[in-house]
Amino acid sequence: MSKYKLTFPEKPAFETAMEVRVSDLNYGGHLGNAQFLELVQEARLRFLKEYGFSESKFYNGALILSNLTAEYKSQAFLGDILTFKICPDNFQRSRFDLFYKVENKDTQKLIALFKTEMVCFDYSTTTILPLPQEFEELFQES
């Protein structure tokens, strides 16, 4: 049994879809875990772009990934369209979590859950920066 149990927050802040390509398949004929992580990164970049950011341009610094947790639930195959739902949560002094729920778009079957811990970082001084309050406010319900 898994040591970690991911729970996706109720309401996603962003959603995007990607098709499983032949180059994403492993020797078992399904989406490989290394390629899956590349799709997670692409989904994260799309999420950040939607809000006017990138990993290298986040307020007065950048973002680095400090931790990743994955729970694989089902296989995905060539041609499957995967929906990536993303929700930021657990805002702290200098970091926050991004939760990802990945489903097969046609069947709604849960394929995987991911969590990435993102840290605010200044590459020029190699120091951790505070998380701007404005970022958390983007996702608070009114």
Q: Residue 29 has which token pair? A: 């004929």
pLDDT for position 3: 67
Name the residue ranges covered by the structural domains of the chain: 14-128
Q: Is 126 left (phi over 0), alpha (psi -120 to 50) or beta?
A: left
pLDDT for position 10: 84
CATH code, 14-128:
3.10.129.10
Cα-based distances in Å from 140 to 12, 50, 51, 107, 133:
12, 16, 14, 31, 11
Mean pLDDT by 10 residues, the chain (142 residues): 78 97 97 97 99 98 98 98 98 98 98 98 98 96 58
Q: What is the DSSP letter of 31?
A: B
HSE value, Cβ hemisphere, 13 Å, CA-based, for 44: 23
